[in-house]
Structures are given as C-alpha cells and as structure tokens.
Structure 1
C-alpha cells in the first residue's frame, strides 16, 4: 500500500501558487503523504505552503470511522480529501459580502427608467445619482456592481441591450517578458524617440491585399515626428522584397533615417543586414500594435482606398502614389 502512495506522490509534482487555495489534486496528495507517514510540516514543505495551512486542512477534512477490533468498536479519525473539498466549497459560498440587490430597488428602478427612456449607460446613471445626491451610498451600487447584476441576469436589461458592450473586444493582457524578438527590443530604443521632437525615426509595416501568399503587397514607412508616409508596391511579403525596397529608400533618403521600428514579422528578418551602417532597427513586442501606433493609423487610412481582399496585383505604382499623396 505504501508503494502505491509513494508512486502517487512522485507523479503529482505540482507547484503551489502563492496566495491560492488548495486544489483537489493537492488534497489528494496530502492524503497520500499522510498514508506514507509524513508529518504536517513535511507535507507543507512538499506542497510549498505554511505548516498551519496543512493543520487547518487536516481539521477541515477530518472524519470519524468505526472499526471492530476483537469484537469491540474503536473510533479512528482520518483525513478524507473529498470531505475536505466539499466543506471548503460550502465555506466559500458564505465568504462573500451579501448582495444589496433587495435593498436598492428604488435605485434599480431609477436606472431602468433612464436606460429605456434616455438611453443612459450604467455609468451615466451612477454618475448622475452621485453628482446630484439622489441616493445615499447604502441605497445604490457602483458601476461595476451594476454591470455584474446585468451579467448575472438579475435585471431585465441584458448585455445585448447595451449600446457599446457587445461591440468592444475582450481585453487581453500580454506578458512581454521572455518573448522572442528578431533583434534589438523596442525597450532599447532611445527615449528621445518617444517624444517625437527629432526627425528621422520611422515605423515600418506591410499591407496585404489578398491573402493568397503570392500577391503584391504595400510597404509603408512612416516618420514619427511629421507623420510623413512612404508607400512602396513590392512583389511579395517576403524578406528579400522588403530588403530591396528599403535599400531603394535608403539610397534616396539614407542621410535622414536614424532609426526604424518594426514588428516581428518574417518579412523583417533581414532588415538589420540591409540597414547596416545606415540606421538602427528596433522590434516591437509581439501583439503590441500600439508601439507602432502612427504606422497602424496610416495603414487604416490606406484601407479606405485599398480594402482587404482587393488584389494589389491590379494596381500600378501611379495609383500607389495617389494614395500616398
């Protein structure tokens, strides 16, 4: 029996996140370690938690069992991980603040009226009530709580009824650490570039028409201070085509170019070679379009004339020049 528990112990090599409650897997591991004869402190070390956490957990999951030994009933206290999990979940149901929903009916009626009649948002209703002291703090809730009520479908108003919420994209918080970059990170770019007081710092990107992989694309080259934009029609979205176009721009305006900021697309992998001795090249973090915001804004303007799905093989450099102008 001990061999089985030792095997379970070796397989469950999880690391406990600081500040998080014990999980069902960790409770199973506690039971296995107890059966293997480990003390509470040894179990705490194994799981990476405080020993008092284990003591509290053993009390929470303690159940009494009866066994007959030599005809006599004897009682034993053992740790049951399933029981501990059930008791934990029951305790969690009672740990939050009670809902004010039943005590703020006047405020909810006020919000409902203004929402339907005046098309107010939840935040506008809360803000107006605060500004004009229509309700006491205890008689109303904040904007976030009001949205929580809508999400939980406690009101007749649904998310579909809100003018803006369904149009907004879900916010993603990207971690920039340990992201692989092609070359020097934008974090190494001089701070003076951010201030836009100095001419010669550019942002670069490509604009695709049809996503067939073999069509012409646009290379956009935007100066940060003046927002001046170069647009070049190149043969494809590949590193050689981009490098060839950049060398042409540098041949004309190389003395003016001080730095270039690009994304991590494969078409920009040879930029450093193409710009050796001409300008510094920096790469934005993955999925961080705002770090090249000037260039992205110009690309949206280009889409007014050359929308997505439009074949760029059908346009001439003269048309590109008109769009650039």
Structure 2
C-alpha cells in the first residue's frame, strides 16, 4: 500500500539511510521519494537529529529554502530551515508518518515524549495526544497510513447518524434505560467497555438527540419516559425549589462534624420522603453519603412522624453501629419524633436550613433516580415492601460515576466484610 511504502521510506531515512538507498529499500521510485522529502524535509530533519541524539533545530520565521531534491544523505539536508506553519492546520500524511515512526521508537524503548513528537511537526503535544487516541487501532497500535485514511473518512459530510446504522447498539441503550440508567451513565459505560471501537459507543448528547429530535436515530419513541424528568422535550432549568415546612430541630446542619462533609468516614446518611399522589402514600428514602447505598422505607397507609420513626428504626437496626453515625433530614413534620430515633439508634440527627434541600444533595439526586420507578403523580400504594426492596437492589447495582463506576452494593459489601475499611 502507498501509505506503508511511505512509512517504510521515512523509517529508513530516520535511521540515517541516504534518500536513494531508502527509496530502493522501500520499493519506491527515486523521483517520488525526492518529492516526499522535499515536502517534509524540515520535519524529517528534526526527527533525524533527535534520533541521533541532537537537539531539534530552531524554528525560523523564514520559509523553507530550496525546492530542488537533495542528492546526499539525510544528514546533508541540514541547510533546510524549518518555517512556521499556520495554526489549526489538519495533520498531513507526512505528519502522521512521523508520529508512527516515533511511536515505534518509543515501543522499542527510546525516550521520546509527546512534546518532542509535537516539536518535530510543529504541533502542540495535545494535538499528538488526541491524534493517537482517535486513530489508534483496537490493539493500541498506530499506523500513519491507516490513521490518515480514518481521519479523512471522519471529515466526510454529511455523516450518518450512528444510532441509525447500529440497531444492536440501539437495543442495548433501550435495555439500560429501561433499568433506569441515564444517557450520561450509558455513554460512560460504553466508553469504558469499547475504548478503541468508536462505532460501538456514543455520547450522551447523541442519545438525547435521538430522543428529542425527529429522525435522529432508531430508539423507541416512548423512551423519553425513562428519563428522570420524563419530558418529551427539553426545558431550561428554572432553579425553582419546593418550600419546606418550618421546624425547629435539635441539631443544625452547621453542627455536623467535618467528616460528614468530605465523605471521609462511612455511616453518615441523608433522608427524605418521595411523594406520590397528593395526600397519598409516600416512600421513605435513606442514602449513605460515601457509598450512595440506598434503603427504601415502606410506609403503607400513612407517613406521619410515628410511622416514619418506626420504619426507620426497623430498617436501620439491621446495620452495624459503625455504619449509622448520623442522619441529615429536611425540615419536614414527618420527622417530628427524631428524639425517639436518636435514642433507639444512638445516632444524632441534623436538619437542613430552611428552604435548603440542596444541603442533602446526595439524597436529592437519589430521589431523582428513583423517579424512574416511583413516578411523580402516581399512587405509590401499589408498591409492596418486596417491590421496594427490589427497586433498591436494582438501584444499588447501578454503576456510579462518582464511585469510579463501582456499584453502591459493592462498596457497602466491602465495608461489611472489611470493618477496618470503615
């Protein structure tokens, strides 16, 4: 292939071969080899000097001098001066050939940094890093000719929308969203599982476009209902917050120990109620701040202070003492029996400031995820205690970006099996 021949030719030149000898060895006509060298002599000269232990030649504002083909060895091209090139220019096939040569030298044990590679082709090291990440093969190898062809293919317009061409990927995304996964989480999992297979992954924005823009993919039309907002179209954020009931608490959130805020120690929980229909059944939610492990409280019939206290004591008594160090709650009358909870569980309870639900943001985020099952405006009395346990188990088995894609269940299990970790 022409790209492979070009790479072979540049390899030999970088090793110190004369242009004629390198052309013969690579199997290319001398005239073509001379033309390649004329186009890339400044770049290759710096590569040769680096290869031989010298320093790259200094850049000059003057353009490269001399267009006649050289007749000597690579070292005889020292009269060529490197000129500045316009910024943001696309990488050429010669640039990618140089990158490929340098990466092979690195693989062979030579100390060549991305910054040095960038100096050879007058580009920043970040350009080199992105080029390698985008155009490396599934095995991590980089080939200049294939990389140039791949880059050219990506620049073609119009592009085919990826979720139109890959129906298998569409079905996988639908299955994950049916389990309550967000588009952003799906994109992160695909990026982790297919780091070198770009056609097997999509961004979260691509998923949102397939849901909100007509003809932009092959996802089910009703899939937007699986989003935490259940919106059929996008809305700007308003920042409106639900007013909280005024309540005087024993401990303020400002009195919590510093270990709660930085999540350094497990066993600190946040809680709230998830409401269904107006005046109907509610579900209590408890979330551990470090592991994001979630416990759901079954509150059939009523959710007054006595019922919430009994359900919380019943569920949290199953935890060891080192995993129930404190609880943070909103200012709601449903926790009016906080004194009974503190006494029975030996666990202090702290209350948020008025109208400040964001102070227990871990619980707010978890409640948003739970709306996938406990939809707003529906009658929650249809959920039995077993149903709530199954929902909690599903949520606790969901990978979390904040946990480096581990699950809350894995994190809590580690704390239970290794008490020293707590």
TM-score, normalization by structure 2: 0.35
TM-score, normalization by structure 1: 0.44
Greater share of strand residues, 1 or 2? 1
